[in-house]
């Protein structure tokens, strides 16, 4: 068995007025949020899928179906912690997480330390093992036109010795 595994995750949610904007478990002051069955935290969802992908454990919808009332307005940190536990049960530890949130506004860079800290807590790693980057879509396409937001993530796991 290989000592290292890589996983990739991606998520998109529609922008919706009157919803909270939560990224990596951190509430972001904003006049809009993201639509979704859970708290619609795209960043946590992308990282959850990357973790599950790295360990070949399916995807977020398989573990937390959005048809299940238990996950209505769920805190996505629950998904992250569950995925963390599943990869640990398979004998892996998280080496690092790298991620990107693509959202036209608001500016997110001031929230980077808080988001990395919160994600690190959920994942049981140090904040310097977690990277979060932000990009606009340069006003092009659904993200650029302010209709949706996306997140992408990569996770590296290594076998515990």
Query: Does position 107 bind ligand C5P by CB under 6 A?
Result: yes
Report the partner that residue 150 touches, choosing among Mg ion, ligand C5P, none (CB closer than 5 to 8 A by kind). none
Please state whether the peptide bond connecting residue 106 to the residue before it is cis, i.e. omega within 30 degrees of 0: yes
Q: Which among ligand C5P, Mg ion, none contacts residue 147 (Cβ within 5 to 8 A by kind)?
A: none
Provide the sign of the torsion angle of the four alpha carbons 119, 125, 126, 131, taken in this order: negative
32 binds ligand C5P (CB under 6 A): no
DSSP-assigned states of every residue in 43-88: HHHHHHHHHHHHTT---HHHHS-TT-GGGTT--THHHHHHHHHHHH
Find the part of the chain contacting ligand C5P (CB under 6 A) among 48-56, 92-100, 130-138, 139-147: 130-138
How many secondary structure helices (H) and strands (E) does the chain include?
5, 7
**What tokens appear for 67 in the block?**
């048809």
Task: Give 81's contacts (C-beta < 8 A, 6+ positions apart).
Answer: 122
The option from ligand C5P, Mg ion, none interacting with 134 (CB < 5 to 8 A, set by class) reads ligand C5P
Is the Cβ of residue 88 or residue 137 nearer to ligand C5P in the bound state?
A: 137
Nearer to ligand C5P, 28 or 94 (CB): 28
> How many CA atoms lie less than 13 Å away from 150 in the CB half-sphere?
14
* Smaller CB separation from ligand C5P, 63 or 135: 135
Q: Which does 45 bind (CB under 5 to 8 A by kind): ligand C5P, Mg ion, none?
A: Mg ion
Report the residue from 134, 142, 144, 146 that binds ligand C5P according to the rule CB under 6 A: 134
Contacts to Mg ion by CB under 5 A: 11, 45
């Amino acid at each position: 068995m290989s000592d290292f595994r890589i996983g990739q995750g991606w998520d998109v949610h529609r922008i919706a007025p009157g919803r909270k904007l939560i990224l990596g478990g951190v509430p972001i002051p904003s006049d809009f949020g993201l639509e979704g069955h859970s708290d619609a935290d795209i960043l946590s969802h992308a990282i959850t899928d990357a973790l599950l992908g790295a360990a070949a454990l399916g995807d977020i919808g398989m573990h937390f179906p959005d048809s299940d009332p238990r996950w209505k307005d769920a805190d996505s940190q629950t998904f992250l912690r569950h995925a963390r536990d599943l990869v640990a049960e398979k004998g892996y530890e998280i080496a690092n997480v790298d991620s990107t949130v693509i959202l036209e506004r608001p500016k997110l860079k001031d929230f980077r330390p808080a988001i990395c800290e919160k994600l690190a807590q959920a994942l049981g790693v140090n904040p310097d093992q977690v990277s979060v980057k932000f990009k606009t879509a340069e006003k092009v396409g659904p993200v650029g036109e302010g209709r949706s937001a996306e997140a992408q993530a990569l996770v590296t796991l290594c076998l515990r010795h």
